[in-house]
Amino acid sequence: MARQLQVRPHAWKLKEPFAIARGVRSEARVVIVELHEDGAVGLGEAGGVAYHGETPETMLAQIEKVRPAIEQGCDRHDLLQLLPAGGARHAVDAALWDLEAKRTGVPVWKRAGASRWEPVESSVSIGIRDIDAYETAAREREDFPWLKIKVGHGSPLEAVAAVRRGAPRARLIVDANQSWSVDELLAWAPQLQSLHVDLIEQPVAVGPDQGLAGHADAIRIPICADESLSTQADLPGLVGRYQFINIKLDKVGGLTAGLELATAARAAGFRLMVGCMLGGSVSVAPGMVLAQQCEVSDLDGPWLQAEDWPQGVAYRQGRMSLPAPGLWG
C-alpha cells in the first residue's frame, strides 16, 4: 500500500492560562501528522516555535510543499534535507519514527540507540502569577521532584522565595525567558543561591547573553541556554556562556536531529536538558527518548493541558509514564 499523508491543525485547552515573560496562552495550538502505510499509522505532533514566527498554518504549508516526497517514501534522513529545522520537521520526523516502529515491531528507543527506556521525572511549570499564588501553586506540587518557576523582570526573587516556602524539598529551575540583564543576574545570584535554585534557564536575551562569559564562578548556579539554541550550528557561540543546553525538538526539527545535537553538545562539554513546547503526549513522546540521556527533563506540555490524546502520557507527581505502544513509539 502506498504511503498516505494526513495533516491537520488542532487546539488543546489548557488547565489555566499559561503566562511567561513573552505573553499568555490559553490553548496549545499544534499540527498533527498521520502517515498511513501497510495498515500501520505513524503519528507526529508539534507546537512549533512561536517566537520564530511558526504557527499551525505555517507548519501545514511547509509540510504540504513536500507532500509528494513524503508520500513517495522519504525516510528520516531524507527529511533533514527536505524541511528546515522547526516544528513541521519535528511532526513529520516523529511520524516516521513511529511508523517504522509500528511496521517493524522494533520500538523507537531501541532504534534510536538508547541504553534504557524508563519513566521520566519531568519538571512542571508554574506560570507567572501573583506572589501569594506562586506559594499556593507550589504547595499543591510540593511532592514533585522538580518545579520550574516562570518569572519576568518584576519581583523574581519574591516569586522564587514563595515557591521555596511552598515546596521546601523540590529542585528548582528559574526560567526568565530572556527578561533579565547580566547585571541583574549577577545582583540576584546570591539570593538565588540561598534559595537553593538548581538551574537558571535563559536569563538574558539572545545577543546580550554574550555578557554571561566569565561569570560562572560568581553566579555558581548552572545557566541553561534555551532561546539561544536552535540547532547544532549555535553550539560554538554558547561555549563559555552556558553550562547546560535545553534541546527542544520543535526547534532542532525532530528526534533525528535532536540525537545528533545531543552528541555534539556533550562533545563540546555541555550538560543536557530536554524541553518542549506546548502540545499533547505525541509531541513530547520523542523527547522522552532523548530524556534517557539528559540530566534534566522539562516535558510537561500535556500536564498543563485540560485534555490530551487517548492513552496519553500519565503524570504522577511529575513522573511521566512511558507512552503506550499503541499511541507512539
Burial class (CB in 10 A: 0-12, 13-18, 19+), 316: exposed
Which among 61, 95, 66, 93 has a CA at the least distance from the CA of 77?
A: 93
- Report DSSP letters for 256-273, one per residue: HHHHHHHHHHHHTT-EEE
Catalytic residue among 102, 148, 248, 251: 248
DSSP H or E run through 197 = strand 197-201
Q: What share of the chain is helix, strand, coil (3-state, %, to 5)?
A: 40, 25, 35
Which positions ≥6 away from 42 have C-beta within 8 Å? 33, 34, 35, 94, 95, 96, 97, 98, 99, 100, 101, 102
Range 110-117 contact pairs with CB under 8 angstroms and sequence separation of 24 or more: 112/255, 112/259, 112/289, 113/259, 114/289, 114/292, 114/293, 115/292, 116/292, 117/292, 117/322
Give CA–CA dist 237/35, Å, rounded.
37
- Report DSSP letters for 270-305, one per residue: -EEEEE--S--HHHHHHHHHHHTT-SEE---TGGGB
3-state secondary structure of 208: helix
Neighbours of 267 (CB within 10 A): 9
Active site residue 15: no
For residue 315, the cross-strand partners are 320
Write phi, then psi, for 94 (nearest 5 degrees).
-60, -40
Catalytic residue among 102, 148, 150, 251: 150
Enter the C-alpha cell of residue 239: 561555549
Active site residue 248: yes
3-state secondary structure of 327: coil
Q: Kindly list the catalytic residues.
A: 150, 248
